[in-house]
Amino acid sequence: MEPKEILAEVVPNPEEESFNFDLTPKEIVTRLDEYIVGQSKAKRAVAVALRNRSRRRKLPEELREEVYPKNIIMIGPTGVGKTEIARRLSKLCGAPFLKIEATKYTEVGYVGRDVESMIRDLATISLNLVKNEFREKVKERAFEKAEETILDIILPPIFYKKEEELTLEEKERFASYKQSREKFREKLRAGKLDDQEIEIDIPKSSAPAGIPMLQVFGAGNMEEMDNQLQNILGDLMPKKQGKRKIKITEAKKLVSESEAEKLIDLEKMQSEAVRRAEEMGIIFLDEIDKIAGREGRQGADVSREGVQRDLLPIVEGSTVSTKIGPLRTDHILFIAAGAFHMSKPSDLIPELQGRFPIRVELDTLSREDFVKILSTPKSSLTKQYEALLATEGVQLSFTEDGIHEIANLAFEMNEKNENIGARRLNTIMEKLLEETSFEAPDLAEDKKKIEVNRNFVQSILKGIIEDKDLSRYIL
């Protein structure tokens, strides 16, 4: 069939229009380049995976159900950008994103978290995302209602009947009341009443209203059972109203939130949260190499294999009961990552290997990469420190030779000690600017201009780096 013929069968869903994602793979890689240096192979792999989701939504419904995401395994040492790639990817498309460590989970029947809890966590993240969007839509209406509620407390209504039912004398009194109310409204909007205190009714329960919390208890997971039991009891018990005396500025916020909850269609919100998690959810499974069994080993590896087998139905596709309803995992994108120093991807059980068809190796960072990391990204470390110290009136700047010296030192430390990748830069930058950060508020005006050049870096760090024993503990 021609592409036009296939797409002609698609019936557009108006509810999905606000969640369209039409960046091309090249555009996705360009966006990732703004924050992450190098690793083009990994960026291309995740860009294609994300674009395929957009393509899938444009397919006829029957074919759409048959197209599954191609899960990815990222292989590379710590600090080269595995987590950051997945995190930035989720931000690009506003998808529910969960980062978890595979080592947190235990085989069903053992003490610890069972693998299904990751889907429940993803459901919660999705619900919070959608809830914020729904709140934003009703924000103005909620504020208007909150305004009326606060005005009713400041200036209580004098009549509780329709205006046409009032007598002539009552109408005159009502007209005067309306004028006074409008004057108070102007003062309220101008913030002139913010410091005044009023007494309002506030629900004592903090649980979100109307969302059923019934779930299936995870086997061997007492912590999960305890949390779920509290949620169930919280919904069954009636909410108590408690009077509190607070400032009007705080009352605006609390009453607006309360009114927003009333305006939101809870059933529609839950339905959208489930759809968002099912269709666009991303789970980043870190430290996957730590649950890979190694040939000839016993003991703990038995439990590791059990976790892998528990992961199989989740990754392949199953239905998990969550607080927002049953959630299918068929189309959730799983991105696994690991250093694989002590094991290799082939040490994973064959069934799980088959669920991660795309494997990407990330490159070890070079000196040039460190230089780019310090200067190129939108939120580079140098820009972060410049902004932080600017709040104290300190004008911090980094010269080109200063950046190169920091990059060289980071690279050398990774060569001599454990290679922790770009995370070494955090350690070096913190030590380099430790004294400056401490003294910043008390610096004299003529000393508030600081240039970080090669001499500045060497004067502070050279002695530490040359002392091997000291550098091992400090850097």
Cα dihedral 381, 383, 385, 391, rounded to 10, equals -150
Q: Is the pLDDT of residue 17 over 50?
A: no
Tokens of 156: 């209580």
Angle at which helices 423-432 and 400-416 cross, to 10°: 120
Tokens of 67: 């197209």
Cα angle 139-144-145, degrees, rounded to a multiple of 5: 100
pLDDT in tens, 83-135: 888 888 878 878 899 988 888 876 555 556 788 889 999 999 999 999 999 98
The residue behind tokens 């703004």 is 34
Question: Are the C-beta atoms of 474 and 420 separated by less than 8 Å?
Answer: no
Question: Are the C-beta atoms of 311 and 125 separated by less than 8 Å?
Answer: no
Spatial separation of the C-alpha atoms in residues 363 and 35, rounded to whole Å: 16
Question: Are the C-beta atoms of 77 and 422 separated by less than 8 Å?
Answer: no
Tell me: is residue 48 an annotated ligand-binding position. no
What is residue 166's predicted lDDT score, i.e. its pLDDT? Answer: 66
pLDDT confidence tier of residue 223, bands split at 50, 70 and 90: very low
Tell me: is residue 351 an annotated ligand-binding position. yes
What is residue 213's predicted lDDT score, i.e. its pLDDT? Answer: 43
Q: Which residue has the higher pLDDT, 431 or 234?
A: 431
Query: In whole angstroms, how large is the CA radius of gyration of the chain?
Result: 29
Class of domain 3-130+273-361: alpha beta
Q: Residue 162 in 3-state DSSP?
A: coil
Tell me: is residue 423 an annotated ligand-binding position. yes
CB-hemisphere CA count at 13 Å for 154? 24
Buried b / exposed e along 342-374 (16+ C-beta atoms within 10 A): ebebebbbeebbebbeeebebeebeeebbbbbb
What is residue 451's predicted lDDT score, i.e. its pLDDT? Answer: 92
Q: Is the pLDDT of residue 228 over 60?
A: no
Q: CB burial class (10 A; 0-12, 13-18, 19+) of residue 267?
A: exposed
- What mean pLDDT is predicted for residues 361-369? 90
Provide the percentage of residues in the chain whose pLDDT is more than 70. Answer: 79
What is residue 15's predicted lDDT score, i.e. its pLDDT? Answer: 43
Distance of CA 201 to the CA centre of its chain: 33
Question: Are the C-beta atoms of 283 and 297 separated by less than 8 Å?
Answer: no
Give the DSSP per-residue string, 48-74: HHHHHHHHHHTS-HHHHTT-----EEE
CA dihedral (369, 370, 373, 374) positive or negative: negative
Tokens of 416: 């001599």
- What mean pLDDT is predicted for residues 363-378? 90
pLDDT confidence tier of residue 230, bands split at 50, 70 and 90: low
- Considering the domain 367-463 in this protein, what is its CATH number? 1.10.8.60
Tell me: is residue 83 an annotated ligand-binding position. yes
pLDDT confidence tier of residue 340, bands split at 50, 70 and 90: confident
Tell me: is residue 82 an annotated ligand-binding position. yes
Angle at which helices 139-154 and 117-137 cross, to 10°: 70
What is residue 214's predicted lDDT score, i.e. its pLDDT? Answer: 43
Among the listed residues 363, 348, 277, the one whose alpha carbon sits nearest the alpha carbon of residue 42: 363
The mean-pLDDT minimum among 141-155, 359-373, 439-453 falls in 141-155
What is residue 195's predicted lDDT score, i.e. its pLDDT? Answer: 82
Spatial separation of the C-alpha atoms in residues 183 and 10, rounded to whole Å: 55
Tell me: is residue 80 an annotated ligand-binding position. yes
Q: Residue 376 in 3-state DSSP?
A: coil
| DSSP H helix total and E strand total for the chain | 20, 11
CB-hemisphere CA count at 13 Å for 29? 14
Spatial separation of the C-alpha atoms in residues 367 and 307, rounded to whole Å: 39
The residue behind tokens 């595979």 is 102
Question: Are the C-beta atoms of 215 and 180 separated by less than 8 Å?
Answer: no
Q: Give the β-pairing of 241-247 and 319-322.
A: unpaired
**Continuous segment of H or E residues that includes residue 203:** strand 197-203
Q: Is the pLDDT of residue 429 over 90?
A: yes
Tell me: is residue 9 an annotated ligand-binding position. no
Q: Is the pLDDT of residue 212 over 70?
A: no
The residue behind tokens 């500025």 is 249
Taking CA atoms, 2 is separated from 5, 6, 466, in Å, by 5, 7, 67
Helix boundaries (H) for 191-265: 222-236, 248-263
Q: Give the β-pairing of 358-361 and 395-398.
A: unpaired
Residue ranges per domain, the chain? 3-130+273-361, 136-271, 367-463
Spatial separation of the C-alpha atoms in residues 345 and 339, rounded to whole Å: 10
